[in-house]
């Protein structure tokens, strides 16, 4: 029995309907490791379908994640975009510089790296339902889970500290607001009044963020189960 058939058999013991999920942050070119993850999910979904289960395979594009650093293939001018969400910054041109013309035409940094990967998947007949995380936040898909997280910040802090055996900063909060310049870096939450987060940036500028409108995002440890919740994920192979 193939390992994917074993997984499908275990899924059948949990129920007849499943959503298998994989995903990636489109911060650069997709490599063989990314393909390995999506092929794992695809094989499980196909084995589950062969076993008679009602199964859907989804691929989550973590385009709400920020640019973490200026990668080697980028021009130093991308320093300006560190902390900005990948869906909201311009794609690089052939020299690694921000291509503002393509960005004004609706092609983001995330799109630039995702599209060639989508085309490659079609060539090997892997066709998941793609879910764009930035769009999901903006359209309110995370509204309920974000409010649950913010209303239970102390409980979540206790769980993370107990499981990870490390202490979170005193100003930790389960929401990363976007500042007035579009960055989610260096911002401290000062108050929570459901559904509004108040914040202050490193220069003392203050503002608010509505968690139901995607004016920020959940930290990854909370974003992950939140995606499972609103999508209805029942299986993820973890790459």
Return the pLDDT at 96.
Answer: 97
Mean pLDDT throughout 193-218?
95
Confidence of residue 231 (pLDDT cuts 50, 70, 90): very high
Mean pLDDT throughout 13-42?
91
Mean pLDDT throughout 3-7?
95
pLDDT higher than 70, residue 127 = yes
Q: What is the spatial distance between Cα 207 and Cα 197, in angstroms, rounded to a whole number?
A: 8
DSSP the chain: --HHHHHHHHHHHH-SEEEEEEEE--SS---HHHHHHHHHHHHHHHHHHHTT-EEEEEEEE-TTSBB-S--TTS-GGGGGGBTBBGGGSPPB-TTSSB-HHHHHTT--HHHHHHHHHHHHHHHTT--PEEEEHHHHHHTTTTHHHHHHHHHTHHHHHHHHHHHH--PPPTT--S-EE--TTSB-SSEEEEEEETTEEEEEETTS-EEEEEGGGTSEE--HHHHHHHHHHHHT--B----
pLDDT higher than 80, residue 60 = yes
Confidence of residue 81 (pLDDT cuts 50, 70, 90): very high
pLDDT higher than 70, residue 12 = yes
Mean pLDDT throughout 183-204?
95
Return the pLDDT at 166.
Answer: 92
pLDDT, tens digit (0-9, with 9 covering 90-100), for 86-126: 999 999 999 999 999 999 999 999 999 999 999 999 999 99
Q: What percent of the chain has pLDDT over 70?
A: 99
Return the pLDDT at 99.
Answer: 98
Return the pLDDT at 195.
Answer: 97
pLDDT higher than 80, residue 238 = no
Q: Across all residues in the chain, what is the average pLDDT?
A: 95
Return the pLDDT at 35.
Answer: 86
Return the pLDDT at 34.
Answer: 82
pLDDT, tens digit (0-9, with 9 covering 90-100), for 146-190: 999 999 999 999 999 999 999 999 999 999 999 989 999 989 999
């Amino acid at each position: 029995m193939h390992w994917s058939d074993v997984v499908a058999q275990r899924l059948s013991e949990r129920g007849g309907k499943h959503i298998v999920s994989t995903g990636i942050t489109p911060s650069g070119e997709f490599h063989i490791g990314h393909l390995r993850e999506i092929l794992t999910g695809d094989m499980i979904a196909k084995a589950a379908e062969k076993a008679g289960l009602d199964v859907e395979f989804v691929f989550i594009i973590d385009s709400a994640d920020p640019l973490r650093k200026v990668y080697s293939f980028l021009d130093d001018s991308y320093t300006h975009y560190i902390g900005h969400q990948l869906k909201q910054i311009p794609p690089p041109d052939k020299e690694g510089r921000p291509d503002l013309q393509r960005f004004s035409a609706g092609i983001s940094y995330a799109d630039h790296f995702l599209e060639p990967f989508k085309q490659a998947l079609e060539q090997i007949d892997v066709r998941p339902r793609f879910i764009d995380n930035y769009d999901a936040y903006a359209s309110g898909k995370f509204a309920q889970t974000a409010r649950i997280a913010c209303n239970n910040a102390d409980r979540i802090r206790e769980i993370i500290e107990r499981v990870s055996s490390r202490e979170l900063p005193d100003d930790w909060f389960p929401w990363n607001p976007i500042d007035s310049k579009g960055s989610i870096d260096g911002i401290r939450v000062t108050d929570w009044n459901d559904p509004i987060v108040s914040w202050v940036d490193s220069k003392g500028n203050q503002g608010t963020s509505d968690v139901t409108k995607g004016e920020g995002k959940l930290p990854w440890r909370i974003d992950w189960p939140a995606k499972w919740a609103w999508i209805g994920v029942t299986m993820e192979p973890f790459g």
